[in-house]
A = this chain, B = another copy of it.
Amino acid sequence: MTKDLKDSFNAAGSGRRPGAPGAAASVSGGIGTSGAGRGTATGGTSSGGSGVGEAPPAPAALAAKVRTLAPSMTRSMQRVAEAVAGDPAGCAALTVTGLAELTGTSEATVVRTARLLGYPGYRDLRLALAGLAAQQQSGRAPAVTADIAVDDPIADVVAKLAYDEQQTLADTAAGLDTVQLGAAVTALAGARRIDIYGVGASGLVAQDLAQKLLRIGLVAHAHSDPHLAVTNAVQLRSGDAAVAISHSGSTGDIIEPLRVAFDHGATTVAITGRPDGPVSQYADHVLTTSTARETDLRPAAMSSRTSQLLVVDCLFIGVMQRTYESAAPALAASYEALAHRHSPRTR
């Protein structure tokens, strides 16, 4: 709509993707103002044959990607992305000029959009589109994406909500960068101490993660109080880890402690729906959650929470794998300890 906004981060954003499109590995690269260039732990993994970026042509993940990246697109690009996501088959049949005309933009914009979506150029996007179309064709047709209405019967609410959340999960899984995830897991698994920041709805996710990590014997703490978070962040140093959870990616109360942790040498992880947001500046590893449309009856907080929780679960399982020797007994012990809190057996 009238959400025109231009942003100062874009400078950072575009600077972040230098030559190759979507070089996620270097997300936090040189952005940190605090000098002290910290190499990203992820190193130069992957990077396939040709100079193409690490992002492999996403086959089915495209719709998810569009949704995730939409907020960081310009108006024209959004129009293009929308057309592409809405009718893959139709767009696959169009040349770059045709698609430009259809969306009322220019060829340059179409190419730019393709780049943003992770393809080397429009040609490759088109190929992926053809693949996607074929999949949809063979797959299922019944997509009941209807929004929830005020007068929907309760049974419909349940069905729609469940469907939406499933969709969110699929999107999130598809859009999650496993390289970044792996790096984040490594950081957490080896951390001396883990601080987790989150406020509002994200605060609960932060607590969830902290609870889980504590259960497997790691030293983790979730902070919802911005002041205390910063105060604690100062204590962090190399070998520690900090995780920031913010859907918007621009929550000041979250960014500040993460920045402090970053500056003090801790390995930092951001879980956000806006990987181009300010919070990523101070994150060694960025994990992207899906951004679903919100409606009157369905606050964004709902799907972002679902998405965040999946990411957090993945993190947790990953950490548990790495520390299985010590984690499994610790987890068992925590169950043991709780047993007596339950009423006798009710089978």
Are B20 and A93 in touch, CB under 8 angstroms? yes
Verify B204–A208 contact, CB threshold 8 A.
Answer: yes
Number of copies: 2
Instruction: Check: A298 CB closer than 8 A to any chain B CB.
Output: yes
Do B135 and A135 touch (CB < 8 A)?
yes
CB-defined contacts of A313 to chain B, threshold 8 Å: 161, 165, 302
Given contacts A21-B87, A87-B21, contact A28 B137 (CB under 8 A): yes
Chain A 319-337, CB-CB to B under 8 Å as 1, else 0, gives 0110010001001000000
Minimum C-beta distance from A334 to chain B (A): 9
Interface magnitude class on chain A: 35 or more
Q: In A239-268, which residues have CB < 8 Å from any B CB?
A: 248-253, 255
- Given A131-B130, A250-B346, A136 and B102 touching (CB < 8 A)? no
CB contact between A305 and one of B27, B32, B309 (< 8 Å): that residue: B309
A156 to chain B, nearest CB (A): 9
The 8 Å CB contact of A166, one of B10, B59, B170, B318, is B170
Interface residues of A, dominant DSSP: helix
A20 lies within 8 A of B87 (CB):
yes
Q: Assuming A21-B94, A345-B5, is B200 touching A31 (CB within 8 A)?
A: no
The answer to whether A9 touches B346 (Cβ under 8 A) is yes
B321 close to A251 (CB less than 8 A): no
Residue A1 lies at the interface, judged by CB distance under 8 Å to chain B: no
B31:A133 contact, CB within 8 angstroms? yes
**Does A98 reach chain B (CB closer than 8 Å)?**
yes
Decide yes or no whether A299 CB sits under 8 A from chain B.
yes
Which A residues contact B (CB, under 8 angstroms)? 3, 5-10, 14, 16-17, 20-22, 24, 26-35, 59-60, 71-74, 82-83, 86-94, 98-99, 102, 126-128, 130-139, 141, 143, 148, 150-152, 154-155, 157-159, 161-162, 165-166, 169-170, 172-173, 176, 178, 181-182, 185, 200-201, 204, 207-208, 211-212, 215, 248-253, 255, 274, 276-278, 296-299, 301-302, 305-306, 309-310, 313-314, 317-318, 320-321, 324, 328, 331, 338, 341-347
Q: List the 4 closest A-B pairs by CB distance, nearest first.
A: A131-B134, A20-B90, A30-B89, A162-B173
